[in-house]
Amino acid sequence: MENRFQRILLISASVCLGLALTTSSALANNNVGLADGVPVKPSVERREILEDVLDNENFELGVQVGMISIEDFGSSTWQSGHLAYHMTEYFYLKARYAKAEAGLTSFEKLVTSAPLLTEEERELTYYGLNVGYNLFPGEIFVGRGSAFNSAISFEVGAGTTEFAGDDKFTVNLTTNFRIFFTDWLAWDLAMSDYVFDTQITGETKTTHNLNLTTGISVFF
């Protein structure tokens, strides 16, 4: 009887000791970060992060020179300027003014007769508005250490061509390739087609006047 009573006391003492150790461990975990009852704040060195400065040059001003093939009148020098507004990263509006001077037709070169047009009527002037879309933005690598942003864009628009003493409604289609040397300066190469109707040779027909230009643009 006495041995059984001793075993019960021994088991009870072991259970109480285990409970005491478990409670002590839990209290120790809950008091992590406390020193003498005072919360210990971690010493973390904070870094100052500077946000990138975003460019906000939405306007573009450019000049181009090149050649235009005026149907029936040969090729001539083309000079143009434009002002564009970039609404988003992809879409933009472009207003263009350009001029050229038509040459002689094949008929005028072969037949010694009165010219079809006067010198003033041979002056071609175009002004219109295009909508552009940057379809393929990318990069151009020059050597191993230099890379420039680039973009291939497509434009469609309409305007007026003053030629042969008449104003002609004109549809314009353009493919443009650009390289950005800086965030404010770009070089571009463009191929365009100016489509309008004429009656100069005695019959009404739709003419396609192909144009190849190169130039520079500044952004502000």
User: Which residue type, as a one-letter code, is found at position 129?
Assistant: L
Say if 143 falls within a structural domain.
Answer: yes
pLDDT digits (tens, 9 = 90+) for 105-127: 877 777 776 777 888 999 999 99
Domain count, the chain: 1
Q: State the pLDDT confidence band at 17, using cuts at 50, 70 and 90.
A: low
Say if 83 falls within a structural domain.
Answer: yes
Both tokens of 165, joined, read 């003493």
pLDDT at 185: 95
The CATH number for 83's domain is 2.40.160.20
pLDDT digits (tens, 9 = 90+) for 70-92: 998 999 999 999 999 999 989 99
Q: Pick the residue with more confidence: 53 or 191?
A: 191
pLDDT digits (tens, 9 = 90+) for 22-71: 555 544 555 544 445 556 666 667 666 555 444 568 999 999 999 999 99
pLDDT at 37: 54
Say if 21 falls within a structural domain.
Answer: no
pLDDT at 76: 95
Q: Pick the residue with more confidence: 101 or 203?
A: 101
Host domain of residue 107: 59-219
User: What average pLDDT does the chain have?
Assistant: 83
Q: How far is CA 162 from CA 13, 49, 65, in A?
A: 111, 57, 19
Q: Residue 122: phi, psi to the nearest 5?
A: -80, -10
Both tokens of 59, joined, read 């306007």
Count of CA atoms in the C-beta half-sphere (13 A) of 71:
15
Both tokens of 21, joined, read 């150790």
pTM, two decimals, is 0.72
Say if 82 falls within a structural domain.
Answer: yes
Say if 40 falls within a structural domain.
Answer: no
Both tokens of 33, joined, read 């970060």
Q: What angle do CA 170, 174, 176 make, to 5 degrees?
A: 155
Evaluate if residue 19 carries a pLDDT over 70.
Answer: no
Say if 1 falls within a structural domain.
Answer: no
pLDDT at 157: 97
Q: Which segments of the chain are extended strands (E)?
A: 34-35, 38-39, 59-69, 75-86, 91-101, 123-142, 146-163, 166-180, 185-198, 205-219
Evaluate if residue 8 carries a pLDDT over 60.
Answer: no
Q: Could you write out the DSSP letters of every residue in 57-89?
A: --EEEEEEEEEEE-TTS-EEEEEEEEEEEE-SS
pLDDT digits (tens, 9 = 90+) for 146-166: 889 999 999 999 999 999 989
Q: Are 98 and 125 in contact (CB under 8 A)?
A: yes
**How many residues in total does the chain contain?**
220
